[in-house]
Amino acid sequence: MTSSPTIRDVSKLANVSVSTVSAVINNKGIVHPETVARINAAIEKLNYTPRRSARGLASGRSGNIGFILSEQFFSRTEPFYTKVFLGAEFEARKHDLYVLLTSVDKQYSGPRDMPRFLHERNVDGLIIAGKVPAASLMELKKFNIPVVLVDYGDPEFYGTRVLMDNIRGTSLAVRHLVALGHRDIGYLGGESDHPSAKERIRGYREEMNRQGIAVQEKWMDISEQMMSLEAGEHSFARLLDKGDLPTALVCSNDAMAIGVLKNAERHGISVPDDLSVVGFDDVTEGCMITPPLTTVRVAKEDLGSMAIQALVDMLRNGRSRSSEIRVGVELIARSSTAVPRSNGR
């Protein structure tokens, strides 16, 4: 069986020293362009692939990026953060980086709960997607590595954040409903301490104000629960108990909106004839439910891709991008919204 080519084979074919080949592979030092071209030609001809461990020794880096999720997100029906992870994975490949995925418990109890790859110093940078315990963020400072937060931020933790345009998203939702003729527009949300959730509420209130529509607090239900299908069902049930429904609802995410649709159906409330519903995120299940859900689309893969790009800038180029990077959103109109019945439907 033919053995794999080695760095010595490359140096022999290119007629240079092993140290020169190593310098080119690891982007170290200054090498004449003609020599670089000769080495790259030899690498291509031999189909040589540097061993990552050897490159790590030369560069002082592992070539790995850690990706941390709170454990609770693995139980969600719709893999929102899975798509964020895939965006990070595909972008990492372009930069010859590996992404190591792990989770942390939502009840952080001390340094032993931190991922093993951090204790072993086996990652060069870190992406944290979604909300994690504040104490775990504080613990990260001890590791002194670049960190990018995705869809989360903490005022006590300095680091680059990659966020979606939450305020514009719920603003678009309200504008869509107003354009259809709605003025009785409520809002259902959860995780009131989550920065993204706060921004979505803010976007709703600001756009209602711009449209000259008074926010009716009786049609708002903001809980501390995770924004889930069950939370949407419970939130809508509380509105039903009040005996007075709006003609439209903006929900803080698609999971809650789907919960509203399911509960409305059980109570004989027709969507969109009796009630228009808008979600946020554009998850796959929203296209499959009846009626298909009008929502705010988030480029989930872009969140992960931009997080990797920000880390690469910090690791390889010695600079940080803006401390806040925003990913755009767009409204996707489907069958869960229509003109209110009172307007002739």
Q: Which domains does the chain have, with CATH numbers?
A: 64-164+300-328 (3.40.50.2300), 166-298+331-343 (3.40.50.2300)
pTM for this predicted structure: 0.79
What's at 114, amino acid-wise? M
How many CA atoms within 13 Å lie on the side-chain side of 55? 15
| Nearest CA-CA partner of 159 in 315, 337, 310, 312 | 310
What residues contact residue 70 under an 8 Å CB cut-off, 6+ apart? 103, 104, 105, 106, 130, 131, 132, 133
Residue 204 host element (H or E): helix 195-210
Question: What is the DSSP code (8-state) at residue 142?
Answer: G
pLDDT at 57 over 50: no
Give me 120's structure tokens: 């072993």
Which of 121-125, 240-244, 289-293 has the highest average model confidence (pLDDT)?
289-293
* pLDDT of 344: 41
Distances (CA, A) of 187 to 26, 184, 203, 256: 53, 10, 11, 11
Q: Are strands 295-298 and 329-332 parallel, antiparallel or unpaired?
A: antiparallel
pLDDT at 108 over 70: yes
Q: What is the pLDDT of residues 257-298, one digit of tens each?
A: 999 999 999 999 999 999 999 999 999 889 999 999 999 999
Give me 303's structure tokens: 């969140």
